[in-house]
Structure 1
Amino acid sequence: MDWFYWGIIIILFIISFIGLVYPVIPSVLFILGGYILYGLFFSFKDFSWLFWSVQILFVILLFGADYLANMIGIKKYGGTKAGIWGSTIGMIAGPFVIPVAGIIIGPFIGAVLGELIVNKTSFKQSLKIGLGSLIGFISSVFTKGIIQAVMIIYFFFQVS
C-alpha cells in the first residue's frame, strides 16, 4: 500500500510543476498537500520546526518571485501598473482563450492592452512593454521551478 500513497504524493508534486505554466493551478498548495498527505499516510515526525520554517520561507519566495519577475520585466521596458495588471489578467485568462499558446501570448497581450487602454501609450512602446512582460513571465517560471524543485528535494531528504 505504501507505493499507492507515494504515487498520490508524487502526482501532487507533478501537478505543482504543471501549475508553473498554468497559473490557475495553485502550485504551492499541491506541494503542501503532498507534505500533509505524507504526514497522514506515514507520520509527521519527520517534519521538524526547521523543516516547516524553511518551507514557509520558500513559499514566500515563490509568491515574491512571481510578482517581482513580472514587475521588473515590465518596469524595465517603461511599463506601469496598468501593464502589470494587464499582464496578470492575461496570464490567468490566456490559457482559457487560447489553449496552450495562451500561457505565453496572454501576458504579452494583457500588458500591451493595459498600457494602450489605460495610459494611451504608443503602440510601439506598448509592444516593448509586452515583451518585458513575456521576459518577466518566463524568468518567473524558471525561478519558481527551481524553488519548487528545492522544496521537494528538501522534503525527500527529510523523509528518507
Structure 2
Amino acid sequence: MEWTGARYADTPTVEVRAWVDAPPDRVWRIVSDVTLMPGMSEELQSVEWLDGAAGPAVGARFVGRSRHEDFGEWETTSHIIECEPPRVLAWAVADPSRPSAVWRFGLQPKDGGTELSEWMQMGPGRSGLSFAIDRMPEKEEKIVFVRMREFEANMTATLGHIRKLAEA
C-alpha cells in the first residue's frame, strides 16, 4: 500500500485482510468482543463499555486507553456506528459526526471459512497525531505515512491473533 503524499486532511485509509479457517459466527464472537482487543495490540491497553453496555450495538460507547512510545498515553471514547452480526462492526473515535478515526471489521464467508478485513480511516477530526503535525507541519506527509504503516502492522498482528483464537 502506498501513502506517499497523503496529508491528514485527505483522511487516508488502510485495510488488511486475512482468511480464517472458521465460520463467520465464530469469528464474529471474537471481533465483537472489543474487550479482547488489548490482548491483541501493543498500543491498546484497555477497553471498557460505557453506559451499561455489555456488547456492540449501534449507539453503544466504549472507552479505550492506549499507549505509544512517541505519543504517550491517552484515552478515547468510541461510538458504535455499524453493527450487523456476523458481517460488520464499525466505530467512530471521539465525535461520531467528525471522528478522529473510524475503524471497521468486515466478515464474509469464503472457501469454507471467513474472509476477515480490518479497515481504518484517519480523521477528519483532530487526533493526537494532529499535535505532532502542528509542531512540524513541514513533515506532515512523513508523519502520516509512518503512522499509517504502524496501523497496517498493528492491524496485521490483530488479524493474526483473531485467526489464532477462532481456529483454536
TM-score (norm 2): 0.38
Point out the structure with max Rg over C-alpha: 1
Higher relative contact order (CA 8 A, sep 6+): 2
Between structures 1 and 2, the one with greater strand share: 2
Between structures 1 and 2, the one with greater helix share: 1
TM-score (norm 1): 0.40
